[in-house]
Amino acid sequence: KAGVTQTPRYLIKTRGQQVTLSCSPISGHRSVSWYQQTPGQGLQFLFEYFSETQRNKGNFPGRFSGRQFSNSRSEMNVSTLELGDSALYLCASSLGSSGGSDTQYFGPGTRLTVL
């Protein structure tokens, strides 16, 4: 079974621009979660989508948004990029069972550099 895929793998943008990242989950998985990883803050949860609905949201500004399509593929968008948005953006796929015990598998990530 194919793993989680993310595109693009690397991205360079300038301040003020916007960016869209894409994630395709493992076949049969209905939940997609997004995380940001930086050296200073570590791995932080952005949001989770399940059945095309945002089910959980982390503590990030509204510039960060996402959506999920009917085939469970997900995109996240960051508008008005700031230098501090430079990070590894990770997508994780899971079955989506609620109440814990939902194992998440990570994609390879998108490395975003904001100049």
Partner 1 sequence: QKEVEQNSGPLSVPEGAIASLNCTYSDRVSQSFFWYRQYSGKSPELIMSIYSNGDKEDGRFTAQLNKASQYVSLLIRDSQPSDSATYLCAVQYNAGNMLTFGGGTRLMVKP
Does residue 2 contact residue 26 with C-beta atoms inside 8 Å? yes
Q: How many residues belong to the site for partner 1 (CB under 8 A)?
A: 30
DSSP code of 84?
A: G
- Would you count residue 98 as binding partner 1 (CB under 8 A)? yes
Distance CA 4, CA 45 (A): 17
Between 71 and 97, whose beta carbon lies closer to partner 1?
Answer: 97
Bridge partner residues of 65 (DSSP): 77
How far is CA 10 from its chain centroid?
14
Determine phi and psi for 72, rounding to 5 degrees. Answer: 75, -10
- Would you count residue 13 as binding partner 1 (CB under 8 A)? no
Segment near partner 1 (CB under 8 A), from 10-18, 21-29, 75-83, 105-113? Answer: 105-113
Rounded to the nearest whole angstrom, what is the least distance from the CB of residue 34 to partner 1 in the complex? 10
Residue in the structure block whose two tokens are 């899971």: 94
- Would you count residue 55 as binding partner 1 (CB under 8 A)? yes
Residues near partner 1 (CB under 8 A) are 31, 33, 35, 42-45, 48, 50, 55-56, 58, 88, 90, 92, 94, 96-109
